[in-house]
Structure 1
Amino acid sequence: MPSDDAARILVTSARMPFAVDEIHKLGDEKGHHLIATDTFRETPGGHSKGVDELILTAPPTQQPDRFVDDVIAILNSERIDWLLPMFEEVFYLAAQRARIEAAAPHTTLFFPELEKLLLVNDKTRFADLCRSLGLPVAETVVCTTREQWVEATQRWENWFARAALGRGGLDVVTNTGPLAGETPVDAVTPTAAEPWLVQEYLRGTDRCSFSVVHDGEVVLHSCYEHPLTIDDRGGIVFESVDTDASLAAVQKIAAELDWTGQISMDYLVADDGTHYMVECNPRPTAGCSVATADELDTALFRPDGLVTVPPGRKKMIKAAVLRDALKNPRRVREIRAAAKGAGSVYVQDGDVMPLIYSALSLRHVLAYRKAAGKERSREQLVAAQFFDILYDGSDLTAGPSA
């Protein structure tokens, strides 16, 4: 039962693995009253023991105004104290922040203003910010025309390109590494509205970090690597590592932007230890899973100085690990070694329903195919996970439509 001082929390986009983790820790372990939302009933996090009620909303990407209407209704009917967005629905919420604050003044909106979100979300603007703060960024060519694109992809023998607003390991083109040639160069035509970044392919180790920030001060920080990834894209095993370089980078960015909310970074660590800044995700990522419930709860609601997650903690998305082993039987020993000692994100302390619903939620792939007209592809499982909660780069400054 929730304690008398328990917060009333609304978590949006409950399907995401890190949402499942935060829901379990805040709702089940810490006893807060927690409402979860998503656009479909099979969402894994919505069936955690930590959830008091699952409420469906309109899809924020396709129906942003109706989505915000739905959220406002929940904030008031459920007397919500804290709104914690889990994915890119945060952009649609921030775009109508003034309307939400006026309609639900009792709720703390734990995310920054729209302009700050847009700045870090655009990889070109984020790179400029990092350079201005003295943070390392790989040499980059920004392409807004077909001609620039062709020239940039011929600049280096080995190169790597990403859409400025791409996410989730999608919209990537390279001639080197495991994704080489998966997307033809001719398939990309950058524009001023949808630019692409081309960089020399740097060899090193991918790292990520997760932080909780209040008024520009980092109060919880974890840095982690992916001993195992799904289809050479998103990580499915997460292991905490040392935090010094990543923490220093996040502290600079958080202070410069006077950030409040959850924030995550991606890095490429070169052999000499240099942490090249890659991108920012203005939301939680898997790094929250290697923090304890006490650490997360304190950082969010009662911050008291800085807490860093020590190296050696390990979590995994077990169903994805098993899928990887079945698809790659020759790599079973390697996969087993990568997952050894990792706790499960979807099963924690007897909270097994998120794991069951992670399988049932695969029907959302069919919804993705129908909405996007996609055939089967390697990107399908990743894209289907969040096609209706992505920020698509559209203009958000106009506010709700009439």
Structure 2
Amino acid sequence: MSAAKKRLLFTSARMPFAVDEIHKLGDEMGHYVVATDTFRESPGLHSAGVNQGYLTAPPTQEPDNFVRDVIGAVQAQDIDWVLPCFEEVFYLAKNRELIEKSAPDTTLFWPSLDALTEVNDKTTFADLCERLDLPVAETVVCTTSEEFVAATQKWEHWFARASFGRGGLDIITNYGPLAGETAVEDITPTDDDPWLVQEFLVGQDRCSWSICHEGEVVLHSCYHHPLAIDDRGGIVFESVDSPESLAAVQKIAKELNWTGQISMDYLATEDGTHYMVECNPRPTAGCTIATAEELDTALFNPDGLVVVPGGRKKMIKAAVLRDALLHPTRAKSDFAAAKGAKGVYDQRKDHMPLIYSALSLRHVLAYRKAAGKEASKELLVAAQFFDILYDGSPLN
């Protein structure tokens, strides 16, 4: 447990893992928490763990104004630590020197921009894994439509992803529950927006989340999704024992001298091999199955490695109910998958984030207007982070 209470600033407070960390560090551990986001209904702004909320410019659309807003909040609130919770970390990392100059005594808990970009791009991430002798499915990188079509003919069953896609979006496959949702001819890779095509491997999706200091992993959790939303992002999270995932993160963290939170996706096959899928250089749902004490110690007073044991369970309750209502035939299996799980947005004596998770659906309308999209299966997922996303474009 940290000896002194700290003044913390969280960005992208809408995300479920941000809500979780805010509750644990603010409400349970008693740190002073400032939360920021781009819209007032962001669930994390309304947690009992928040002492002060700020609205910022959207980092994706207005990166300079976003960084300026964050610096203003850091200075006004005398912040000790800044903890980014989504891909706004790229815009912060790009402006690290400016932030350090403006707040020299503040800990900026993220790695270098070079490290971030190497793992965020699925192409360079695959290269990194091969260099470190970590298993990766055979991959074809495509930068033209012709290359993409040819790659999909290499295997009987294949799976393809945009190099900078996130949240289960920008994927296409000819096998499994998502097969046929998108036509091959609709995918148009470019040099700036390549796609990866891989052989479809059968196994269980697994994810991990870790906290690292200067290349050393001090807290690690691995989990799977007993239930996912629209066959994409998980909405029930259960920790599992996975020494393979820990070993992989330790290799990558050491190679990149990683400081910050880091998350991985894997495909665990029947023989126990954990094929590397992608890296999210930020927190993910794995933090929800760590305790407040584990999180607090790992951040502020690390003392060796702590691994979250298997069998812990959390859920996004509203999403579970939504899935059961939209698909009544799945209701029984949905509730079975969620049995024993505690809520992420509805913590003990901290229920306002759950209410605002419903009110924040207004953000879907903002996404539809900004993107010029009609309602679609991907709308709810995409709307969650359209204005805090980094798409690999050059950072000016």
Question: Does TM, scored on the shorter chain, surpass 0.5?
Answer: yes
Which runs of structure 2 are paired with 1:2-401 in the superposition (5 Å)?
5-396=4-395, 398=396
Task: Give 3-state SS (helix, strand or coil) of 1:37's partner.
Answer: strand
Distance 1:225 1:157 in 2: 27
Q: Is the 8 A contact 1:11 1:85 kept in 2?
A: yes
TM superposition shift of 1:5: 2.2
Which runs of no fewer than 5 residues in structure 2 stay unpaired? none
Task: Give 3-state SS (helix, strand or coil) of 1:237's partner.
Answer: strand
TM superposition shift of 1:234: 0.2
Distance 1:190 1:347 in 2: 41
AA of the residue aligned to 1:330: T
Q: Deviations over 1:171-197 (max 9, x none)?
A: 001111111111111111111110000
Task: Give 3-state SS (helix, strand or coil) of 2:136's partner.
Answer: coil
Task: Give TM-score, length-normalised by structure 1.
Answer: 0.97
Task: Give 3-state SS (helix, strand or coil) of 2:384's partner.
Answer: helix
Q: Is the 8 A contact 2:209 2:261 kept in 1?
A: yes
Which runs of no fewer than 5 residues in structure 1 stay unpaired? none
Task: Give TM-score, length-normalised by structure 2.
Answer: 0.99
Distance 1:148 1:181 in 2: 19
Task: Give 3-state SS (helix, strand or coil) of 1:209's partner.
Answer: strand
TM superposition shift of 1:336: 1.2
Distance 2:368 2:339 in 1: 35
AA of the residue aligned to 2:21: E
Q: Deviations over 1:101-132 (max 9, x none)?
A: 11111110000011100000000100010011
Task: Give 3-state SS (helix, strand or coil) of 2:172's partner.
Answer: strand
AA of the residue aligned to 1:244: P
Q: Deviations over 1:250-270 (max 9, x none)?
A: 000000000000000000000
Distance 1:99 1:127 in 2: 32
Task: Give 3-state SS (helix, strand or coil) of 2:115's partner.
Answer: helix
Distance 1:48 1:129 in 2: 38
AA of the residue aligned to 2:182: T
- Tell me whether 61-70 or 173-182 shows the greater mean CA deviation: 173-182
Distance 2:135 2:27 in 1: 40
TM superposition shift of 1:4: 8.9
Q: Deviations over 1:256-307 (max 9, x none)?
A: 0000000000000001010000000000000000000000000011111000
AA of the residue aligned to 2:22: I
AA of the residue aligned to 1:277: M
TM superposition shift of 1:243: 2.6
Distance 2:122 2:92 in 1: 21
Structure 2 CA distance for partners of 1:271 and 1:4, relative to 1, 3 Å: closer
AA of the residue aligned to 1:46: L
Q: Is the 8 A contact 1:239 1:315 kept in 2?
A: yes
Q: Is the 8 A contact 2:121 2:392 kept in 1?
A: no
Q: Is the 8 A contact 1:243 1:308 kept in 2?
A: no
Distance 1:291 1:103 in 2: 33
TM superposition shift of 1:244: 0.6
Q: Is the 8 A contact 2:137 2:199 kept in 1?
A: yes
TM superposition shift of 1:147: 1.2
Q: Percent identity?
A: 73
TM superposition shift of 1:392: 2.0
AA of the residue aligned to 1:299: A
AA of the residue aligned to 2:343: S
Q: Deviations over 1:204-243 (max 9, x none)?
A: 0000000000000000000000000000000000000003
Distance 1:53 1:113 in 2: 28
Q: Is the 8 A contact 1:144 1:192 kept in 2?
A: yes
Structure 2 CA distance for partners of 1:152 and 1:36, relative to 1, 3 Å: same
AA of the residue aligned to 1:208: C
Distance 2:165 2:3 in 1: 43
Distance 2:375 2:145 in 1: 28
